[in-house]
């Protein structure tokens, strides 16, 4: 089927990012991290800066959260909170190594005057939450299985006033929802089916019959750890197969290289929180 690109519309977004000035892999809290693999911090900063410039070139606003020494994973700004309609549901990290990041993010939101709901349950922000305002009247997709507690789903629903659809992750390589599924626009997604339990796969098929499906190679290249404005999809340069499928579906892939951030288990989306 030939899709007219005019059917896809880019919408200006507002993002939060944190430069990787202190980024390193000092510990292993996911399947991708190896403390024995050195990080080129200078290259990481250059790659991050190119990513930030890509978003501004596409017409989006980017706020920058200053990094703090001793918190090497702050570059993964998506994990610090989850925001819908100006209300912020804060993060509570599963691993002690990242726990202090939550207060830094809370201070940022407080400084801007946005209502903040402090979590009592473990959740890692947009790492395990995705919001699709046009899907069935507005849905929050919520991952669990490795980091976020299922009880946090109900807490997020109460805090944000949107129905939450739980999705169980079963492959430790895809420890956050945003490594296995990416929102392409306000009502559609791309995802790797085998990252999910069979029951969750059935739910995804029912909710998103027109979803773009990724294969294992593209998922392992962090292709689904993407950021989309509804037309332009910024994703890992190595996910060429997924890029081709996105183009065939009417989206405009924008490939970027984040080799250093991948050493920490993240790529484009992990570096970006959306301020809705």
CATH of the domain at 71: 3.75.10.10
User: Residue 7: what pLDDT?
Assistant: 83
Catalytic site residue from 18, 220, 270, 271 = 270
* Six-digit token string for 38: 């050195």
Between the alpha carbon of residue 73 and those of residues 35, 126, 157, 253, the distances in Å are 13, 15, 27, 27
Q: Specify whether the CB–CB gap between 273 and 15 falls below 8 A.
A: yes
The answer to whether residue 176 is catalytic is yes
pLDDT value at position 150? 98
Distance CA 33, CA 69 (A): 19
Instruction: With CA atoms as reference, report the closest residue to 25 among 12, 36, 13.
Output: 36
Catalytic residue among 153, 176, 220, 271: 176
- Does residue 3 lie in a domain region? no
* Total domains, the chain: 1
Task: Supply the pLDDT for residue 85.
Answer: 96
C-alpha span between 235 and 269 (Å, rounded): 8
* Residue 53 lies inside a defined structural domain of this protein: yes
Please confirm, yes or no, whether 18 is among the known catalytic residues. Answer: no
Domain that holds residue 233: 11-274
Residue at 89 is within a domain? yes
Domain membership of residue 4 (yes or no) is no
pLDDT means per 10 residues, the chain with 276 residues, are 64 98 97 97 98 98 98 98 98 98 98 97 98 95 98 98 98 98 98 98 98 98 98 98 98 98 98 98
Q: Which residues contact 160 (CB under 8 A, 6 or more apart)?
A: 82, 84, 85, 87, 89, 117, 140
Residue 124 maps to a domain: yes
Per the listing, tokens 């990080």 go with 39
Q: What is the CA radius of gyration of the chain?
A: 17
| Domain annotation covers residue 25 | yes
pLDDT of residue 2: 42
- In a domain, residue 5? The reply is no
Residue at 136 is within a domain? yes
User: Which conformational region is residue 169 in: left (phi greater than 0), alpha (psi within -120 to 50 degrees), or beta?
Assistant: beta
Write down the pLDDT at residue 6: 47
């Amino acid at each position: 089927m030939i899709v007219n690109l005019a059917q896809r519309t880019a919408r200006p977004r507002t993002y939060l990012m944190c430069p990787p000035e202190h980024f390193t892999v000092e510990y292993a809290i996911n399947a991708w991290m190896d403390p024995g693999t050195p990080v080129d911090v200078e290259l990481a900063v250059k790659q991050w800066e190119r990513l930030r410039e890509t978003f501004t070139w596409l017409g989006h606003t980017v706020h920058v959260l200053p990094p703090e020494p001793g918190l090497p994973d702050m570059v993964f700004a998506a994990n610090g909170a989850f925001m819908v309609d100006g209300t912020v549901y804060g993060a509570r990290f599963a691993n002690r190594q990242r726990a202090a990041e939550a207060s830094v993010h809370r201070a940022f939101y407080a400084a801007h005057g946005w209502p903040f709901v402090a979590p009592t349950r473990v959740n890692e922000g947009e790492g395990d939450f995705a919001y699709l305002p046009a899907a069935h009247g507005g849905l929050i997709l919520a991952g669990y299985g490795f980091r976020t507690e299922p009880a946090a789903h109900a807490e997020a629903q109460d805090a944000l006033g949107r129905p939450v659809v739980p999705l169980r992750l079963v492959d430790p390589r895809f420890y956050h929802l945003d490594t296995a599924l990416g929102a392409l626009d306000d009502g559609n997604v791309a995802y790797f089916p085998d990252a999910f339990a069979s029951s969750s796969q059935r739910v995804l098929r029912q909710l998103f019959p027109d979803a773009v499906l990724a294969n294992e190679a593209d998922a392992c290249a962090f292709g689904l750890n993407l950021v989309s404005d509804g037309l332009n999809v910024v994703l890992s340069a190595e996910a060429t197969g997924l890029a081709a499928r996105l183009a065939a579906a009417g989206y405009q892939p924008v490939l970027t290289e984040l080799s250093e951030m991948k050493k920490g288990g993240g790529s484009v989306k992990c570096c970006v929180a959306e301020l809705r």
